[in-house]
Structure 1
Amino acid sequence: MSNGQGMATEGEVQEGLTVEEIAFIHGHLHDNVGELILKAGKFKGLDVKKLAAQIQSRQKALKKLPEWSTNEKLIFPPALSVEQCSSEATAHYKASIVSGDRLIDITGGMGIDCYYMSRSFTDTHYFEQQPEVASTAAYNFTQLGATRIHVHAGESLHALHDGLNADWLYADPARRDANKEKVVRLADCTPDVAGNAALLLNAAPHILIKTSPLLDIDLASKELQKLKEVHVIGYEQECKELLFVLDREMPEQDFKIKVRMIDAAGQPIHELDFDREEERSAVVSYAKPLGYLYEPHAAVLKAGAFKTLCTRFNVQKLAMHSQLYTSEEYVNDFPGRSFRIVAVCKPDIREISQHIPGDKANITARNFPAKPEELRKKWKLKDGGDHYLFATTLADQSKVVIVCVKPI
């Protein structure tokens, strides 16, 4: 196994992009990639197919990886890899919860997480089994000035067996199957971090595992040893990823769930910490729509804080399965979207239209026997505007549409 420090792995020369190639990529950054390839004959001396792939990946990365996107010299992996990699926002968040002398990233990949987390360490070791991927990461780290990252093209678990250790170990296990089916078990990912827990915890006292938000939290908690925390990360309107923190010194399985809605810099906008016992014992009360309506962020719902929201924020649920909340007084720090209620109507456009101007409204359906697109078509409403319609079922099983506007 060879390694380098901020440079290509030994024995492999990673050539960067020429000045002409860089100019082509940035001159056509917003072009249609398919049309570019069809016109390849016009661009003599250039591998247009290769450059089109770079353009397509950069187009995917513009919003997700703003810092990397603006660096003209970086080489990007295929567009699908960009779609699947961490965003800079979530990478910044990870960097904020780890620190020490040495970090080992056992799953490498594009290196977004490794790059940002390495800033919190004196020394970082990146492992990637695919030589081309490792070589590209080494080249990119050099362009970014990340000289403290040692790139290894090889099997990370072998290095851990041989005694390599660190303060923190990071893993982003990939799915084994290629059919993209829903993954509910860590054992269905590779490397098998649960099956290798003893080895990993021997190599580092702290372990950070990133998974897809599709993973079942409670099932994963049964698979993992020494689980201390589960971070459920929300960015913009989506739940982006789950982070499992293992601690060698944890006396028993008593983990906290930390929900974090973050901004582009990885800083929390909303925070909610709780555990399963608090959720089980929380007292829930139900009410018909009051002055304000609240829709929890997707990350809160993924975390399963359904009853905890009531006790923490002094709100009431509309119904057991609707996952919508209400209060008479405005709760300004609720972790999700908040609205002022204008009216509560029957699911009848004649009644609804008395409370919305024009033919525009934003429609959401929660625990309701029709989808938003079906309702929009039935009611002949366009998407958008300043009014929000929530079609839902109340605790008495009545079907209603709650007409709302933004609270301020």
Structure 2
Amino acid sequence: MNEAFPTLTARERAFIQAHLHDDVADLLLQGNQCQDVDLKKMAAQIAARQKAKDKLPDWYADERLLFPPPLSVEQGSSEATARFKASLVSGIKLIDITGGMGVDCYYMSEEFEQTLYFEQQPEVAWTAAHNFEELGVADKIEVRVEDAIDALSQKPVPSDWLYADPARRDDRQRKVAQLADCTPDLTKALPTLFRSAPNILVKTAPLLDIDLAVGQLGFVREVHIVGLDRECKEVLYSLNQSSLAVEDIPLKVRILKADGSTQYGFDFNRQEETHAEPDFREPQGFLYEPHAALLKAGAFKSTATRFGLAKLAPNTHLYTSEKPIDDFPGRSFEVVAVCKPDARALSEYVPNGKANLTIRNFPGKVDDLRKKWRLKEGGDVYLFALTLQSGRKVVVVTRKAQSV
């Protein structure tokens, strides 16, 4: 590596820790009071660490580590999702063609004897190399500052797995999602990549349509839809050269705990979803809101039949049961009432005007409905504005279920 970028001195580390919770903009205005450090450098490190606090708690707490520009932290994986990806791969050698901050590379490298990390931005690559050294894995991870596609097209590197997380921003830093708009364009690069490894793990934006991506990639063996907290964080495509003829690809929803282990798992396929025949009923004693990862996967009917629940309507992806069920992959609520969608009807159940509002298959936007119904955010009442199978539009008044 070309050590063109400085490391952190003891004084700089102490400064970062002392100002870790400061407003970075305010800190930059204190230039005359901080002449013993490079304030611009310190501000960049503090801003990046602040972005990493919840996403990368172990890295955030490690004073030795350098952080790349905040955008690289924002675009990188969390520790939880990186650990999960590490559970999907193993072998002798791994190639990470889109190294970035190196979080995925670091955790996945634990499953291999050697790892090759590619990154085109020198500062980002050097920062990763510094961190690999501090984390004690520099002897296992080779860092190369070059375009991976160019390098591997000239000289393939025999490996067991290759990992790709294409950059999802265009030349104007606008977010993109389609595979052809990302860098590198995997729809064109796959032949080159398969010359180095028979197995490829691809991470895409959650916005990208799963069936479209499967069709464009063409070698998909299975798809992992990854949820963390209440969000769908990633969609991962496991590719293998021999998987061209796979007809009904397994779709594996994994909702993770903070340590990357699986809290809820839900496996299904499109055939099961197509043939599932759920019951449709009006709200009963309990209401269930599926996790965003289940919705992204398209497990709309399968969720109902698998858990023995009824749907409220074909396009209203909420479920109901008379008795509570355990271990539902999402949020569970006890139904208090079903009322008309107007301020007067709601006032009986929300006397202080404070409630959490969600809309499902219902016209309008949350903010507009809040104003119309004179509601404030918060409290322990949860309102679901939705459409029933009959076409009737209602608000289901609920509270968090305590017994499930």
Amino acid at match of 1:233: V
Q: Please point out which of 50, 75, 90 is paired with 1:84.
A: 75
Q: Please point out which of 286, 289, 296 is paired with 1:302.
A: 296
Q: Does 1:340 align with 2:331?
A: no
Query: What aligned pairs does 1:30-109 form with structure 2 within 5 A after superposition?
Result: 30-109=21-100
Partner of 1:197: 190
Amino acid at match of 2:152: L
Q: List alignment gaps of at least 5 residues for structure 1.
A: 1-8
Amino acid at match of 1:269: Q
- What SS is found at the alignment partner of 1:318? strand
RMSD over aligned CA atoms reads: 1.6
Partner of 2:133: 142
Shift of the 21–182 alpha-carbon distance from structure 1 to 2, 3 Å rule, reads closer
Q: Please point out which of 205, 208, 213 is paired with 2:201.
A: 208
Shift of the 181–214 alpha-carbon distance from structure 1 to 2, 3 Å rule, reads farther
Partner of 1:321: 315
C-alpha deviation, 1:14, in angstroms? 4.2
Query: What aligned pairs does 1:132-281 form with structure 2 within 5 A after superposition?
Result: 132-147=123-138, 148-161=140-153, 162-175=155-168, 177-179=170-172, 183-250=176-243, 252-254=245-247, 255-281=249-275
Amino acid at match of 2:163: Y
TM-score (norm. length: structure 1): 0.94
8 Å CA contact 1:175–1:190 kept in 2: the answer is yes
Distance in 2 of aligned mates of 1:376 and 1:158: 53
- What SS is found at the alignment partner of 2:136? coil
- What SS is found at the alignment partner of 1:391? strand
Q: How many residues align?
A: 399
Per-residue CA distance 1:165-208 (angstroms, 9 max, x = gap):
21111000113524566645312211122222222223112110
C-alpha deviation, 1:370, in angstroms? 2.6
Per-residue CA distance 1:42-64 (angstroms, 9 max, x = gap):
11232111111111111111111
Distance in 2 of aligned mates of 1:357 and 1:266: 41
Amino acid at match of 2:94: L
Range that drifts further, 227-236 or 250-259: 250-259
Q: List alignment gaps of at least 5 residues for structure 2.
A: none
Per-residue CA distance 1:314-347 (angstroms, 9 max, x = gap):
1121112221111122222222111111111111
8 Å CA contact 2:276–2:302 kept in 1: the answer is yes
8 Å CA contact 1:355–1:403 kept in 2: the answer is yes
Partner of 2:380: 386
Shift of the 35–184 alpha-carbon distance from structure 1 to 2, 3 Å rule, reads closer
8 Å CA contact 2:356–2:378 kept in 1: the answer is yes
- What SS is found at the alignment partner of 1:324? strand
Shift of the 284–359 alpha-carbon distance from structure 1 to 2, 3 Å rule, reads same
8 Å CA contact 1:291–1:326 kept in 2: the answer is yes
Distance in 2 of aligned mates of 1:357 and 1:267: 41
Distance in 1 of aligned mates of 2:118 and 2:99: 5
Distance in 1 of aligned mates of 2:44 and 2:392: 53
Question: Which 4+ stretches in 1 moved above 6 angstroms?
Answer: none
